[in-house]
Structure 1
Amino acid sequence: MKRARAQKEALEKALNRHMQNVEEGLEAEYQLAKNNFDSLNAMAADIHARYTPSHLAQLRPLRIAQANLESEEFIYKSLKDKLRQEKIILEIPRNPVEIIDAAKPSNRPVNRQRSDSSAKNRQTRG
């Protein structure tokens, strides 16, 4: 029993030391994070103090000019694309087949009786 109690006490001491070390490590990490947060917070306050609303108002014309430039660039690109499309359309031939010699009407008169009689003969045979 004494040996079991001694082992239990040794384990409890080791566990307590381990827990104390973990707690100290967490405390150190917390202090580092808190210091980092404080420095970032100070930087943010400094930046906020530098850029007052009047300073931001001075930047407004620049932002408007940038927006106008972007819209002008968009219009320019659209017109350039449209011009490229029109050039391609003009290069495509209108007729799929190039006509070399156009057919000319015959100078001989057409004999209607002959064409009518040959059509009747075909009907009677069939």
Structure 2
Amino acid sequence: MIGIADAEPIPFPGFDRLILDYAELQAVMSEQRFASWRTALASVMGIYAITDMRDGRQYVGKADGAQNICQRWSEYAVTGHGGNIELKSLTPSTFRFSLLRVFDPSTPASVVDAAESHFKEALGTRKYGLNRN
């Protein structure tokens, strides 16, 4: 009998080098070879961008408080939209996920909120993108 060995672990590339399409996000959140990635993403809160590669529109979101990046992105991997109204009508297979800034879990929520607001303003995601707030 021939068995298939577990896939070789893939080293985490670092927070500032992480760009995933939707299929890659699903793999990262479910496959054993990406366990170190989930550990790293679970260790930080942060601000992330989702870009719809069909038209370039972006959504800026945050994971803070009791929720870390791994938890938040796991929701996207399952639903495709994470509960965000503007994303629900789109096809997640064209989404690209990236981190804009990471924070230590002890960072006050007000600091994370200010950073999220800054990126929404800087990238114009309220006026031209996929953020409603």
**Shared fold, TM over 0.5:** no
TM-score scaled by structure 1?
Answer: 0.22
Query: Going by fraction, where is strand more abundant, 1 or 2?
Result: 2
TM-score scaled by structure 2?
Answer: 0.21
- Structure with larger RCO (C-alpha < 8 A, sep 6+): 2
